[in-house]
Every structure is written in C-alpha cells, then in structure tokens.
Structure 1
C-alpha cells in the first residue's frame, strides 16, 4: 500500500555496492528503515539527501506492517537547509542529534505527532540564525526526556542541589553512587526547564563544562532507555568544543 508521510532522515547503513538502508523517523509510522538503491553512484538523482542527517522529507512509501525494511516510491525535500550542511558546528550537531534519535527511538512505540512536530520545528530552528547554537543539543536532549518518559522530577528542586540520574529527581544529599549531577550541573538542568530555544545564548558554558553536562545527560539516557548504546559522534563534538 502506498502511503504519504513526512520524515526526518537520521542515519544509514551501507548495503551492497551502491545502496543504503536509511533510518527515517516518520510522522505516521515512527522509526522505519527504507532501502534506497543507487545512492552512492553517478545515477543517484538527488538521493544523496538520505545520507545527510536531519534532512526533512516528504515521502510516498510502500508500507506494510509485516515488513521491517520498506521502499520509497517518491520523495522531495520539504525544507532545504541553508546552514546545517555548511557550518562545522551545525553539521556536527546534526550527526550527534540524528544518532541520539536513532538509538532513543529504536525501541519505542509510536510516540505521536506531537513529538514529530517538535523535532521538525526544532530542526528548522537549528538551520536558522538562532543565538547560542552551541547549546542547542543540551536543549534538545532535555526536552526529549518528556515524550520518552523520564522527564526530571522538579518538585521542590530549589531546596535540593544534586540530581540523581538513577531516580530522576533532586536530592539534598550527594548520592553514594556515581550517577548524579553535581551542584552546577543540577542548576543548569533546572535552567533548561524554563529557557526558550531563542535564548540559548543565556547559557554560559565553556567547552569542558558543556562536554561534562552532555556526558551526564547521555548517562541519564543510558539508565532509562533500554538498549541505548554509546554515541560515537559525541567524540567529534568534544573535540569541536574543546
């Protein structure tokens, strides 16, 4: 059956000599895998968009609930990027975010149109001249915890200075295990609760602090998402923000 859906290109794996299997988060079917032929050849005919993370596409697909790999009948880019593929920071963030989404959504049921709309809108903003783009991934990782089901418990958080990653809540006493945020990291987590995506420049961090906070957020994902493995592209970000 041919169906229409919007999609966000995440990652891909090579298949045969010139094909790939593209992992795309779709509006109607959640995370799906699609066989794309002749991508890595001279006859690609624009199919290289499926190699570019976070590309926003409109798809006509052959969909069947009985299959794990589907095919695309037709496609077009819905919002061509003007900045992401051409700026090192945005391009590195795109690879990182796409890898996180691919692993975070892999074992989840369909999470509804609200999540798709949020991601679609966020990616469009990422391609715009918003201030504080170097903090965009902090904002996105925090916001994603809500639809994924492990949003931090902020009850009485101002009186408690450590965020326990295992329990997902703030505490007065420093946990005896290593899975927690220290005082400044916990304060930053609280700040992300109210910061607007257009004011990410209000978050003042040096490269080391940004890396440490992201490491804690990824630990948080590891603890609460089954099968969430290491994010390989994080190393590029660490080197970029060093």
Structure 2
C-alpha cells in the first residue's frame, strides 16, 4: 500500500552497481530501510543528492509490515537546507549525529514526539547564525529523554559528580571509573536544564567540551545495548579542538 510520510535521512549504503539502500527515520513508521534503484547511476545524480545526513524529505513509500527493505516511490526535499550543506562545521555535526542515531534508533514504529524533536533540531542547526560548537552536546543530552535513559537532574552542592552507571548525580566521595568529575558534571547539569535558544549563553571551553562529549558517549554505551565506537568521533573532536 502507498503512503505519504516525512523522513529524516540517517545514512546510505551502496547496493549492487547503481542502487542504494537508504536508512531513514520516518514520521509514520519509525526507522526504515528503502531501496533506491538506480540511485547511483549517472542519470540519477539529483536523486542521490537527496540522501545526505539530516536531509528532510517528503516521501511516497510502499510499506509492508515485517519487510526488512521497503520500496520508495518518490522523494523530494521537505525543507531546503542551505548552511547544512556548505558549512563544514554543520555538515560534520550532522554526520556525527546521524551515526549516533543509526546506532540508537531501532524502533520500527512511529514516535511523533521524537520525530518532531529531530525535525525541529535539524531546522535549528541549519538556520542558526550562531556558533554550533555546543549543539551536538545539547542534542545528545535531550535525546536521552526519548531513548528511555534520561537521568535524574539532582545536582546539588552535595551531589556534584555524575554517575553514568545509575544516571544521577552523587557525592564526590562515591566517585568511580564511570563518574564525571565536578566541572564536567556541572556543565552537563546546565545542558540538561537549558533550552536551545539559550545554548550559546553557556561558556564552555573546547577542552571541557571534549571531555564532556566522551562522558556522554560513555553514558550512552552503558545505557544503550550495542552502542559501539563512532567512526566520526575523531572528526568532531578535531573540528572543535583548541587551536
């Protein structure tokens, strides 16, 4: 049966000589894989360009429950993303975050709240004229709410270290290998409690951001089964590294 749905491109892989398999998080069906026949042929270059990380699509798809690879009839841009293509910082952030999403989004069912969060976050990333150096940290902290391991935001003068095993702030005296130090823990607490329009009011050094990113990814690995190392991590770290 033919359906219309919006979709967010996660990644794509080559299939055969000229085709693609594209992984897309859809509004109606959750995460799905679609066959794009001839998507890599010389005549279909414009079609191939649609399937870039974080591109927002309007799609017509054939959907059958339980089928591993669905069929895509038509796809077109739902939003024209300009800076996300040409800004190296934004395109690198998009590549990094879609790799994370590819590992943690496994549900083949609709989640409207999650889809709206992803869609609006991508639009903000593209439209923002401000620095995006903290966007990936903000995105990863907020995403935990939809993945089922949003932590207790119980930071206090007594509980100053974030315990990644248990998802809560604890006393420094209870610190262990999976516990962030006080400085990074306070920044993490601030990230959990800020809104996207206030993000750039947070003053965080590139060094602290790097340590915090590693901590957040460790938290993901502890809480999300099968979360493995990221190929694009070195790219994002180098991009926002101190000169």
Task: Measure how far apart 1:199 and its partner are.
Answer: 2.3
Residue 20 of structure 1 corresponds to which residue in structure 2?
20
Q: How many residues align?
A: 241
CA contact (8 A) 2:161 2:175 kept: no
Residue 165 of structure 1 corresponds to which residue in structure 2?
164
Q: 1:85 and 1:146, CA in 2 relative to 1: closer, same or farther beyond 3 A? A: same
Residue 70 of structure 1 corresponds to which residue in structure 2?
70
Task: Measure how far apart 1:42 and its partner are.
Answer: 1.2
Deviates more, 1:184-193 or 1:124-133: 124-133
> Counterpart of 1:180 in 2: which secondary structure?
coil
Residue 176 of structure 2 corresponds to which residue in structure 1?
177
Aligned-partner Cα distance in 2 for 1:210–1:11: 26
Aligned-partner Cα distance in 2 for 1:159–1:111: 41
> Counterpart of 2:31 in 1: which secondary structure?
strand
Aligned-partner Cα distance in 1 for 2:191–2:167: 15
> Counterpart of 1:51 in 2: which secondary structure?
coil
Over 6 Å off, 4+ runs: none
Residue 44 of structure 2 corresponds to which residue in structure 1?
44
Aligned-partner Cα distance in 2 for 1:136–1:174: 32
Structure 2: runs of 5 or more not aligned: none
CA contact (8 A) 1:163 1:186 kept: yes
Residue 145 of structure 1 corresponds to which residue in structure 2?
144
> Counterpart of 1:151 in 2: which secondary structure?
coil
Root-mean-square deviation (CA), in Å? 1.6
CA contact (8 A) 1:162 1:181 kept: yes
Residue 105 of structure 2 corresponds to which residue in structure 1?
105
> Counterpart of 1:46 in 2: which secondary structure?
helix
Deviations 1:72-106 (A, max 9, x none): 01111000111011011001000011111111102
Structure 1: runs of 5 or more not aligned: none
TM-score (norm 2): 0.94
